[in-house]
């Protein structure tokens, strides 16, 4: 029960971060908002690591993989923050939900996992769900929708690398290193795009980092009490928080096509998760 509570709390916190990012995007550059997400995450994560998890502050065994992981997540964040600056939170997140499908599709190559016919069909059906949301040929495809789709693709590879690192590095160390890599890289471009924030904008930029930090800590705590495969279906709870924030603060509500595409993608993701658990159980 603890695992489920922590996991659901994470999926409440992270959409709040997205809400602040969308609000700020009307006045501040997307790259600056992304910088805030990384800079303040490191500022809040490092003291927690130092005082409560000092024994985990050891150097990684796979620095190149940690760097690639941080770079991929940074790229995914930039794409997602750009997408929500143009389209609704719900539509962007729905398209990003293809990440588990990407993991399944590429796990035979990178993780040496066997994927059967049924899971391949679920991947194809999930991809069809993303096409339902975008509706190519029926509505004009914009860059924001493609960026949201790109977010899901990159996040899928990020999850694959995370699985590889889980056997060698502590997850809290991985969280900190990912933040440090992203903060250093994105800081190099800040002098070229920086817009001076007001006091309230500074506070919202800090809030992005705080909610990102708390959300990921809740995720780590949930994984302490249950396997990732058992918790995977609960990640779709994020869309509920996302829709509430989008409707209440931005007057955005998903259309029927987005709901249909969401249903197809979520159904495919849950089926893949359950099927994988079933296969592992009866090996």
pLDDT tens by residue, 62-109: 888 889 988 999 999 999 999 999 988 888 888 888 887 887 888 787
Contact of 160 with 69, CB cutoff 8 Å: no
**What confidence score (pLDDT) does residue 277 get?**
63
Kindly give the parts of the chain with pLDDT less than 50: 282
The CA distances from residue 98 to 23, 94, 129, 148, 149, in Å, are 25, 8, 9, 10, 8
What CA–CA distance (Å, rounded) separates 79 from 73? Answer: 10
Q: Could you read off the pLDDT of 184-194 as tens digits, one per residue?
A: 999 999 999 99
Find residue 139's DSSP bridge partners. Answer: 136
pTM here is 0.86
C-alpha 165/C-alpha 159 separation (Å) is 10
């Amino acid at each position: 029960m603890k695992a489920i509570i922590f996991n659901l709390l994470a999926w409440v916190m992270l959409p709040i971060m997205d809400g602040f990012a969308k609000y700020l995007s009307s006045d501040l550059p997307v790259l600056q908002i992304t910088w805030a997400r990384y800079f303040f995450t490191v500022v809040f994560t490092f003291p927690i690591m130092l005082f409560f998890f000092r024994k985990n502050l050891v150097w990684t065994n796979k620095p190149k993989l940690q760097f690639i992981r941080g770079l991929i997540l940074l790229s995914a964040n930039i794409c997602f923050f750009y997408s929500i600056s143009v389209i609704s939170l719900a539509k962007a997140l729905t398209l990003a939900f293809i990440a588990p499908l990407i993991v399944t599709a590429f796990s035979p190559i990178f993780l040496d996992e066997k994927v059967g016919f049924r899971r391949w069909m679920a991947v194809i059906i999930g991809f069809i769900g993303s096409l339902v949301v975008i509706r190519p040929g029926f509505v004009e495809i914009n860059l924001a929708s493609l960026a949201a789709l790109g977010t899901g693709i990159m996040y899928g590879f990020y999850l694959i690398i995370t699985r590889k690192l889980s056997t060698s590095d502590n997850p809290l160390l991985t969280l900190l290193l990912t933040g440090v890599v992203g903060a250093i890289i994105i800081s190099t471009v800040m002098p070229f795009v920086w817009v001076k924030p007001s006091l309230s904008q500074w506070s919202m930029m800090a809030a992005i980092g705080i909610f990102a930090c708390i959300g990921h800590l809740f995720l780590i705590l949930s994984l302490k009490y249950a396997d990732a495969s058992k918790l995977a279906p609960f990640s779709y709870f994020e869309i509920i928080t996302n829709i509430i924030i989008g409707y209440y603060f931005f007057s955005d509500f998903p259309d029927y096509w987005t709901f249909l595409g969401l249903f197809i993608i979520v159904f495919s993701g849950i089926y893949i998760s359950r099927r994988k658990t079933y296969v592992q159980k009866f090996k």
